[in-house]
Amino acid sequence: MLARAVPRPGRLLLVVLVVYGFMWIKGWPRYYDDEELPPSMRPQTGSALGPHGVGHDHLVVSIMTTATNVYPKLAPSLAYLFEEDTDPTLIFGDLQMNVGIWPVFDVLYGFTTDFIGGNKELERYRQQVDHARKSIPLDILKRNDPQEEAEVQIVLGKYKILQAMTRAWEYRPERSWYAFVDDDTFVDRINTLDWLAQYNPKTKWFFGNPPTSGVPNPFAAGGNSFIVSYGAMKELFKERKDVIKNWEKKIIDHTSAFDLIFSVLQAELNLSLSGAWPEIIGADPSSAPFSPAIWCERVLMMHHVPPEMNSDLYLLQKNRTEDHIRNPLLFADLWTRFMVPENLADNRSDWDNLSSDSSNARWNILFKSDDPNDGHAANGEESPEACEASCESSEYCMQWSYSSVEQKNWNENGETKCHLSSSLRFGKHSPPQEWKVDSVTKVRTWRSGWKKERFVKWATHQRCKNPAT
């Protein structure tokens, strides 16, 4: 009936439209354009450093925090995240909390009530839960001695890490890389992804830096952040179901979260640690050891970064985002931004430039030697002026510091007052402090000086090769 009602030219037009429509539907693309797909599903290409490039959302960054640090340390850092960083960021702690729109997941809650109640090392966690229920401020739980408080947090950290890893896989499954960092760690995500493009994420990888034994802070040089590949995470938390259950009673035997993960990956996957220094470093721009060893290396992660310095790093990134791949953030750029403006021509009292710090041992220049031709510096123990003169006479010396009380150098120098370094570090203000020597209390003071002009003369002749160009 319809065909009779439509005039012949109209019927011909209708047939053409039907055929066209059929062909159009049949020719519908089987795949969306890349721009229409979510980032995690788009085809990936390589990068300047390797063939295994992945999208921004394929680096899941899990921030480890504590209930007492959520607001003073974590909250400022969240203000310095770029919009594209929000989805692949997770926050894990030891009490269920919120920082604005950000949930902080209590991962210790994943243990059984019996395990939590019967574990002597989880006393702080039990106290936190009790105080939170009663609306009692958590700050009163903190130890007065910062070192003792740090030890409490280290203990809690080793119970959180495996739970955090399994939650990261659960909340952001099937991603290429999973990083676990502290709440005061700066992460350059573009640099990190570019660096990781050298490695196939389907292979089992564990990147980080081993702690240094026998020093006050074993992670001072390399930091305690680590990165695990999709291949390792998949085998641990998808193909195996009882990793946490099998290891929860062994946690007490480990000294830190990093120590535990090192053991788990070695035992479960026969996976060894691959070093990532200096790209992952236990320093911020004020404590980074500027030297040929790090000058042209990319900055991936820096530790113990104060909020105000984190702000400066955020702005530094923001101002170079469009050109970041061709011009990645290097340690040389940190020198230009943070060190060039500083007046290092004048010596400073009550200032420690970290020449004798345990993380500076490889750059501390030896001066106790009877051979004048061995490259060692002259002994400068007599006074700050003698120490400065010793540095001046050594072509390798870039800075010196003098302590009124002998301090360890963490190398063959042993304990000295004069400390010479072939790297240049800014350091920090260090007021007079009581110091016990053989049960006798003395006052330790610091005086520091730099050979900035000598360092700049070297730096101006350096040209960092960029694989992207």
> With 0-12 CB in 10 A as exposed, 13-18 as middle and 19+ as buried, what is 418?
buried
Provide φ and ψ at 75, rounded to 5°: -55, -45
Cα→Cα distances 183→301, 375, 410, Å: 12, 42, 29
pLDDT of residue 16: 45
Measured N-to-C along each axis, helices 230-237 and 146-171 cross at an angle, to the nearest 10 degrees, of 90
pLDDT of residue 324: 60
**Exposure string (b/e) for 174-186, b if CB count within 10 Å is 16 or more?**
ebbbbbbbbbbbb
Distance, in Å, from the CA atom of 171 to the CA atom of 410, rounded to the nearest integer, reads 43
| Amino acid identity for residue 147 in this structure | Q
Least Cα distance to 231 among 251, 207, 254 occurs for: 207
Name the pairing type of β-strands 446-450 and 348-349.
antiparallel
CB of 203 within 8 A of CB of 230?
Answer: no
Distance, in Å, from the CA atom of 265 to the CA atom of 268, rounded to the nearest integer, reads 5
At residue 138, the 3 state secondary structure works out as helix
Distance, in Å, from the CA atom of 112 to the CA atom of 162, rounded to the nearest integer, reads 14
Distance, in Å, from the CA atom of 388 to the CA atom of 451, rounded to the nearest integer, reads 10
Q: Which two tokens stand for residue 368?
A: 């106790």
CB of 114 within 8 A of CB of 142?
Answer: no
CB of 209 within 8 A of CB of 61?
Answer: no
Q: Is the bond preceding residue 278 a cis peptide, omega within 30 degrees?
A: yes
Least Cα distance to 424 among 457, 464, 455, 469 occurs for: 455
Strands (E), 145-225: 177-182, 186-187, 206-208
Distance, in Å, from the CA atom of 141 to the CA atom of 5, rounded to the nearest integer, reads 88
> With 0-12 CB in 10 A as exposed, 13-18 as middle and 19+ as buried, what is 217?
middle
> Is the alpha carbon torsion for 229, 235, 239, 241 positive or negative?
negative
Q: How many CA atoms lie within 13 A of 236 on its CB side?
A: 36
Q: How many CA atoms lie within 13 A of 243 on its CB side?
A: 25
Distance, in Å, from the CA atom of 419 to the CA atom of 390, rounded to the nearest integer, reads 10
pLDDT of residue 383: 97
> With 0-12 CB in 10 A as exposed, 13-18 as middle and 19+ as buried, what is 396?
middle
CB of 279 within 8 A of CB of 301?
Answer: yes
Cα→Cα distances 75→98, 101, 301, Å: 10, 11, 19
- What is the full per-residue pLDDT of the chain (469 aa) written as tens digits? 444 444 555 555 554 444 444 443 333 333 333 344 344 444 445 566 789 999 989 999 999 999 999 999 999 999 999 999 999 999 999 999 999 999 999 999 999 999 999 999 999 999 999 999 999 999 999 999 999 999 999 999 999 999 999 999 999 999 999 999 999 999 999 999 999 999 999 999 999 999 998 888 999 999 999 999 999 999 999 998 899 999 999 999 999 999 999 999 999 999 999 999 999 999 999 999 999 999 999 999 999 999 999 999 999 988 886 666 668 999 999 999 999 999 999 999 999 999 999 999 999 998 866 565 566 888 899 999 999 999 999 999 999 999 999 999 998 888 999 999 999 999 999 999 988 888 888 999 999 999 999 999 999 999 897 655 4
Distance, in Å, from the CA atom of 245 to the CA atom of 266, rounded to the nearest integer, reads 17
Domains of the chain with CATH codes: 56-331 (3.90.550), 346-458 (no CATH)
pLDDT of residue 348: 98
Give, as one character, the DSSP assignment of residue 15. Answer: H
